[in-house]
Structure 1
Amino acid sequence: MTRREWSKLMLTGLAGFAIPFTGFSQPGVVIGLQTYSLRDRSLDEAIKAMVQLNIKSCELWEGHVEPLELQWKRNSTPEETSRKKELLTEWRNSLQMSYIESVRGKFSKAGIKVQAYSATIKDNISEHDLELAFRIAQALGTDTLTTSGTVSVMKRVDVYAQRYKINVGMHNHAHVDKPNEFATPDSFERGAKGLSEYIKINLDIGHFTAANFDAVAFIREHHQRIVCLHLKDRKKDQGANLPFGSGDTPIKEVLRLIRDNNWAIPANIEYEYNGADTVKELEKCIAYCQQIITA
């Protein structure tokens, strides 16, 4: 995102409550949305909900670009999963960038900046699909790709990151028992070791807390490498996802750390706990963040 784009976002307000803009040196806190939060609806319905919520910046989940019905789901049978993969491969092989440009147009019309594109990149990904993720990000007009990848795939990812000049944020979960997944500070270091400056971090502070690591200390030390955050609230010791303010995740401390240091790190809400209504729960999440950064 350019300085001019950032300034424009701050002047218009993000999610309706950005800190008042007083110059680029004090950009405030960008509260955006990981659109996976709206996984219960189509792209058009998700954009409609974001407009309703006054969201102005988002991290676009691949499930809102690719056919929603072909995304992986828990409790699917092996046969269902295999068939979905076949159909998704066919879709990707026939994809025209004109479709992605039309998606970009929808966000532009709604006044929403696509801050990053979020794609799944694992060891078994084909070269075609790996490069496609970068082509999609480029066509969406963003210079950032986030991925729940693996440590061992990042060398392949870096080839395209350098070619397309797109930053890649390694996204963590709490799977500390799986050394090839991003979960620990060490896994981030191993994932980026020997690679270009384009390989960065998309820190999920909820998962980081559930894995019993200190998000505040990590952000303070590595803020220059972080392309965006995921905001969610979880308990320590692999605890559950909970409504904001109910878990152990230091959301308040993290948002104020970013605010007080004027760090240009977008903080994207990712709604994962079980609530009655997605939009109503997101309204609560937004209000919680608003109270923190305006106090």
Structure 2
Amino acid sequence: MAGLSLLPGWSNGAPAIIRNYNKPDSKINGVQIGCITYSFRSLPDQSAEATLKYVTDCGINAIELMGGPAESFAGMPESTLDRRRMYQLAGKRRSGETLTDDEAKEFASLQEQAADYAKVVAAWRAKADFQKFEQVRKMYKDAGVSIYAFKPGAFSQNNTDAEIAYGMKAAKALGASHVTLEHPSDDAHTLKLGKMGEQHKISVAYHGHEQQTFTFWDTALAQSSRNALNFDAGHYIAAGHTDIMAFLEKHHKRILSMHTKDRQSPANGKGNLPWGTGDTPIVEILQKMQQSRYKFPASIELEHQIPEGSDAIREVQKCLEYCRKALA
């Protein structure tokens, strides 16, 4: 440091260098690579602090934050619900597989537990302290990580208007430009969310699975300037579509974030595979983003089977390295 002070060419830049020393950087040649923190769901500690460490260990500097880490930091009552099992059974059913009788009973019980817990959460959200979310924002920012999207379970048809408003206010306190949720397939609800987004000055980005089509978001986009896309490139390929580049050209101004994973086409089994071994044209997509200067982040979403001897952090690191090579 003493040496730096003697070098006139360095003197003005040194403070910025010090601030950014040893901080993550996943913006690669103009393309922001991010990550949805759902990718770390297999790791035992889901606190805001642990999640931040997972993100920085991966070298990621921008994220879509799931609700759990931020809301638990803000004091939301804990649940005994086995969410991993619930996600597993829900995913099996969503993929078209038939649940066994025992699995169906288990899933129904989990849904009942979730409904009871939802009432407790709604009461807590009505009195939530938004300064806690600002503290999360600062903690992440100090570590070099920005939060571009927030995904709490607060925006479904089962949530009250007060909960929806809470979710939008929390997202703003976190510094997010948009909230994300599964597309409800309900035009009245997307209209409502879009209008509430206008009121709270935050955008609402709808995520899709294999129901995504070229025109899937058209109604919601027409309803409000605050309605947008949380596009999923992998699911789009698994749905059998071959026009993903044209899709990006059509919607890039309304895509606020894009989930990125490597899935197979229907002809090859629709599997989630390690990057570079499936049918999602990830390299071409990233290069298109780079060449066309698209502004939305590509969010790594770890969905493929974690190999024995590896873990979520190592797999996300591999995905990020894949992006670096694609954008070199």
Q: TM-score, normalised by structure 1?
A: 0.84
Match of 2:264 in 1: 235
1:164 aligns with 2:193: no
Distance change >3 Å, CA 66–CA 149, structure 1 → 2: farther
Match of 1:201 in 2: 229
Match of 2:115 in 1: 82
Say which of 173, 178, 181 aligns to 1:147: 181
Contact 1:134 1:164 in 2 (8 A): yes
Q: For 1:219-261, what per-residue CA distance to the aligned partner results, in whole angstroms no more than 9, with x for missing partners?
A: 0121111111111111122712111112111111110000011
Write the distance in 2 (CA, Å) between the matches of 1:66 and 1:156. 24
Write the distance in 2 (CA, Å) between the matches of 1:15 and 1:236. 33
Say which of 142, 147, 166 aligns to 1:109: 142
Match of 1:18 in 2: 27
Write the distance in 2 (CA, Å) between the matches of 1:17 and 1:139. 23
Write the distance in 2 (CA, Å) between the matches of 1:280 and 1:87. 36
Write the distance in 1 (CA, Å) between the matches of 2:26 and 2:173. 29
Match of 1:221 in 2: 250
Name stretches of at least 5 consecutive residues in structure 2 with no aligned partner: 1-15, 90-106
Amino acid aligned to 1:158: G
Match of 1:282 in 2: 316
Name stretches of at least 5 consecutive residues in structure 1 with no aligned partner: 1-7, 21-27, 177-182
Distance change >3 Å, CA 66–CA 249, structure 1 → 2: same
Match of 2:68 in 1: 63
Match of 1:5 in 2: none
Please state how far the C-alpha of 1:17 moved relative to its aligned partner: 5.0
Paired-residue identity, %? 29
Q: For 1:271-290, what per-residue CA distance to the aligned partner results, in whole angstroms no more than 9, with x for missing partners?
A: 11220411111111111111
Amino acid aligned to 2:283: K
Match of 1:268 in 2: 299
Amino acid aligned to 1:141: G
1:37 aligns with 2:16: no
Please state how far the C-alpha of 1:85 moved relative to its aligned partner: 2.1
1:91 aligns with 2:124: yes
Match of 2:277 in 1: 246
Larger radius of gyration: 2
Amino acid aligned to 2:134: E
Q: For 1:43-89, what per-residue CA distance to the aligned partner results, in whole angstroms no more than 9, with x for missing partners?
A: 21110111112211111111222349547441552443233323322
Write the distance in 1 (CA, Å) between the matches of 2:120 and 2:143. 30
Amino acid aligned to 1:18: K
Write the distance in 1 (CA, Å) between the matches of 2:62 and 2:287. 19
Write the distance in 1 (CA, Å) between the matches of 2:172 and 2:124. 19
1:48 aligns with 2:53: yes
Write the distance in 2 (CA, Å) between the matches of 1:141 and 1:286. 23
Distance change >3 Å, CA 66–CA 60, structure 1 → 2: same
Q: TM-score, normalised by structure 2?
A: 0.76
Distance change >3 Å, CA 104–CA 18, structure 1 → 2: closer
Contact 2:260 2:299 in 1 (8 A): yes
Aligned length: 269
Please state how far the C-alpha of 1:144 moved relative to its aligned partner: 1.6
Write the distance in 2 (CA, Å) between the matches of 1:156 and 1:245. 40
